[in-house]
Chains A and B, each alone.
Chain A
């Protein structure tokens, strides 16, 4: 176990509290840097999705995890970023310009959504953001002169300073990874300065935040704007990764996926956003596996156990029907959320912290360390 001897206020400010952090994250960075030269192109493609989802996750974490404002509208923000990029690209606007435009426009729209959200709390805010997402989806489908409606839009290959960066090239991966790292560093900077603390104050007690001089309305709008802007930037990258965008890609299910990212990862940490993104992107290969291999395996083991050929093929077709049933994905998402909320409310990152502490304190780890306490003194009166 490591004891940190603090001798300077700087010790509580710096991003890496001790050399262990530098080693861990340094190693991780090296591994990520050599990944495209080692891993298969399929896994690299998944990694790019992890980067994009994690970026959105960090954005949503600022709003939901740190400011306490729930949002089911992040698919709409992502769509606005993606469509801005696709639209501007048609007019040969260079990448850095439309990338910035995607983020800034989404940020402004996020701030505008933030204003009506000021008067809403909890479930009502969720409903308001869902309706915003539906409005955006509808606009994308109807405003054909700009968005080409349900036909969707093609996104040309990204070109940066005359250099072509196709969507499965290592350069594109590094672009997404680099932006994710910048986002995380920016967010960490925010969290160690007055703005981030104001966000956390609003999350935990608006009344107290106000009486400490925090302009709650202003900071909520700021949080919405920052969160939306990050999502908009990610949207521009998302559009390039998909090369084709249409309104039905940005539905409620996508917003729920983002909620899963932060919920599964762990709601109070940026690690959670990344872990949650990894988890979510892994679900897809798992579903494909379920669809392709599971029927064969199950019927194979059934016939090995002595079932007749007819029953085995019967089983095979019913498992295949189940695995390719409509809405299975949604059901799996719902199941995962329920299981995590019930049994692992701190998410994957919380589990990691528990494992780490177990080894640090071994053999003195107490199971009750992370037990949640009931709080009896919290008042809702002064909301």
Chain B
């Protein structure tokens, strides 16, 4: 059985089939990229997995558990974290507290303990902080700890979003266009980090990406989508030379 799989996943908005019977599987420890022209349904698949939209048909399984009907906030608890295409950070909070929100699924203290700030809360805060510091070190975010998000440039925000997802110690991470808006150098860093996430942290990665050089560098497998349907699946070079994919991008 696969680690993560989607079966006949569909998302219809009235007559528009944003995602149309898509089935795919992600193996544990691999990096799987989803590519496709604009409007192909890539981000919609992510929104289905993280339960922002309920699917019209189909099922989603993670670690052999049906998660199709889990509430959205439970998805993180299962170990699936995500980033957003248009950066959804907590603007008026510091980098540190943004990252600490990433630790939310591990928090066990009750409201009463927190009101009195009991020793157990203090201890767990320090533990969370230690984990956050590991992520900060992993992604070189040391200079920004106490800065407000609203004052930071786009490239840094992108990394902080990745950091926040990593702080939840996910088993599967969904990256929605990790390199959009980044310059060549930042994209290089990103590709190192994605590979390190797989090799050092043992995280399975599912990503949507337009930058083919990044896709080629990091992916184990690639899925190409168009009009909500799977065009091709396989190694990066196989998919790129597939006639349907070429037709989708260049026109037949």
Q: Taking beta carbons and an 8 Å cutoff, which residues of A are in contact with B?
A: 9-10, 12-13, 186, 189-190, 192-198, 200-201, 203-205, 207-216, 222, 268, 373, 375, 377-379, 381-382
Contacts and interface: CB of A to CB of B under 8 A. Distances in A.
Contact of B164 (A12, A212, A214): A212
B73 A195 contact: no
A189 B114 contact: yes
Contact of A198 (B84, B87, B89, B104): B104
Interface string B91-135: 111001100111111010101001111000110011001100100
Contacts of A200: 90, 92-93, 97, 101
A373 B157 CA distance: 15
Contact of B130 (A9, A13, A201): A9
Contacts of B47: 382
Nearest to A202: B90
Contact of B104 (A197, A205, A381): A197
14 contacts: A9-B133, A13-B126, A186-B115, A189-B117, A194-B114, A197-B97, A197-B101, A201-B101, A205-B91, A207-B84, A210-B72, A212-B102, A373-B151, A382-B88
A100 to B, nearest CB: 14
Contacts of B11: none
B73 A215 contact: yes
Interface in B76-93: 76-77, 81-82, 84, 86-93
Contacts of B150: 373, 375
B111 A222 contact: yes
Interface of B: 47, 50, 52, 71-77, 81-82, 84, 86-93, 96-97, 100-105, 107, 109, 111, 114-117, 121-122, 125-126, 129-130, 133, 150-151, 154, 157, 164, 168
Between B105, B115, B126, B154, the greatest number of chain A beta carbons within 10 A of the residue's beta carbon is seen for B115
Between A198, A201, A207, A268, the greatest number of chain B beta carbons within 10 A of the residue's beta carbon is seen for A201
Given A213-B77, A375-B91, A194 B109 contact: yes
B196 to A, nearest CB: 22
Nearest to B86: A379
A38 B118 CA distance: 38
A190 B101 contact: no
B45 to A, nearest CB: 14
A23 to B, nearest CB: 22
Contacts of B109: 193-194
